[in-house]
Amino acid sequence: MPSRLGSRIPLVSLIHTLAVAEYLNFRHAANALGVSVSTVSTRVKTLEEDLGILLFERHARGVRLTDAGHRFIEQVSAGVDQLDHAVKTAGLAASGECGRLRLGIHALIPRSFLAELIAQYRETHPGIAVEITESTARDAVIQLRSDLLDLAFVAGPAELPDFHSRRIWTEPLVAVLPERHPLAGQSTVTWPDLAGETFLVRYDSTGPQVHDHIILRLAGRLPPPSIQRFGVGRGTLLSMVEQGFGITIVGAATALLPTTGLVFLPFADEPEPVSFSAIWSPFNQSPAIRNMLVLAGKLGRICDSAPGGIQNEPRERPQ
């Protein structure tokens, strides 16, 4: 019976009762609520009758809470506070101001476009917990389909029929050589310059795309390239290049990392920079995704005129 009764009590009756408990006077409570004294009195009396208990002792100058009334008001106050918090939280979540955003990335290099984007997003949306997972583009797509990620940033074209995508920024491709390499003194390199070289490629991150790009650019050239793949991190791979294991190719943002004994040479014959795209499921309507994409567009417009090798794609606000 109490649980069934609770579901029938109007919220407005509880609000009126809380006001009376605060002011200990029906007239003052009614003035605060902007209603008539009779309305407040009737709602409180009806509530007492429904509960079968007396909440207030009436006297000429006002009212006082009974012992049962004290206990009831304490519980109702806590419940209304929780309800108010739930309403506010739901509103913040609906506007993308609280909750979480699960990002899939290929790398997070300090001072890169992506690092700046995430830093500004966290600053402007402090109520959103940003969770980051580093993986290959293939694994990121799998995690998106499994609802383990909300948004992923991947290198190269992202033409997937079951996902929305948007190109966010581009980076020139550069070759990484040890300082003692015969080509290290040049200002640029070409793909024919690198024919016959040993290329070092990672298994994870953008490694699979790098592997395919080398094969595409050096197809049919002699001597053929040697491509060696390793399960190492970016720092270890760069150290291996510095020690003479071979060379590698990376996006220009990698040159922002503190390194020694390496040179980063842009390609003179690479037809276009590498594009990086955001991809997300059309079924994921999270406003946190929308806010991230809007910020990416704004940051792109700000950085378009900035000097340096990284170019950012201006985007309009998504509908």
> CA-to-CA distance for 314 and 319, rounded, in angstroms?
15
Stretches where the chain sits below pLDDT 50 are 1-3, 303-319
Q: How many residues make up the chain in this entry?
A: 319
pTM of model > 0.85:
no
Q: What is the pLDDT of residues 49-76, one digit of tens each?
A: 988 899 999 988 889 999 999 999 998 8
**CATH homologous superfamily for the domain 99-170+274-304:** Periplasmic binding protein-like II (3.40.190.10)
**How many C-beta atoms lie closer than 10 Å to residue 263's C-beta?**
20
pLDDT at 158: 74
SS3 content of the chain, % helix, strand, coil (to 5): 45, 25, 35
Q: Which CATH number fits domain 173-266: 3.40.50.720, 3.30.1490.20, 3.30.930.10, 3.40.190.10?
A: 3.40.190.10
Place of tokens 């008001």: 73
pLDDT at 124: 93
H or E segment to which residue 175 belongs: strand 173-178
Are 64 and 38 spatial neighbours (Cβ–Cβ below 8 Å)? Answer: no
Are 268 and 193 spatial neighbours (Cβ–Cβ below 8 Å)? Answer: no
pLDDT at 307: 36
Are 178 and 260 spatial neighbours (Cβ–Cβ below 8 Å)? Answer: no
pLDDT at 200: 97
Nearest CA to 174 out of 313, 314, 308 is that of 308
Angle at CA of residue 156, ends 152 and 157, nearest 5°: 85
Place of tokens 């390496």: 262
Fold: same for 99-170+274-304 and 173-266: yes
pLDDT at 310: 40
Residue 42 CA neighbour count, 13 Å, CB half: 5
Topology of domain 11-95 in CATH is Arc Repressor Mutant, subunit A (1.10.10)
Tell me the H-state helices in 147-303: 207-218, 234-242, 287-303
**Dihedral angle sign, alpha carbons of residues 117, 120, 124, 126:** positive
Domain assignments of the chain as residue spans, ordered by start? 11-95, 99-170+274-304, 173-266
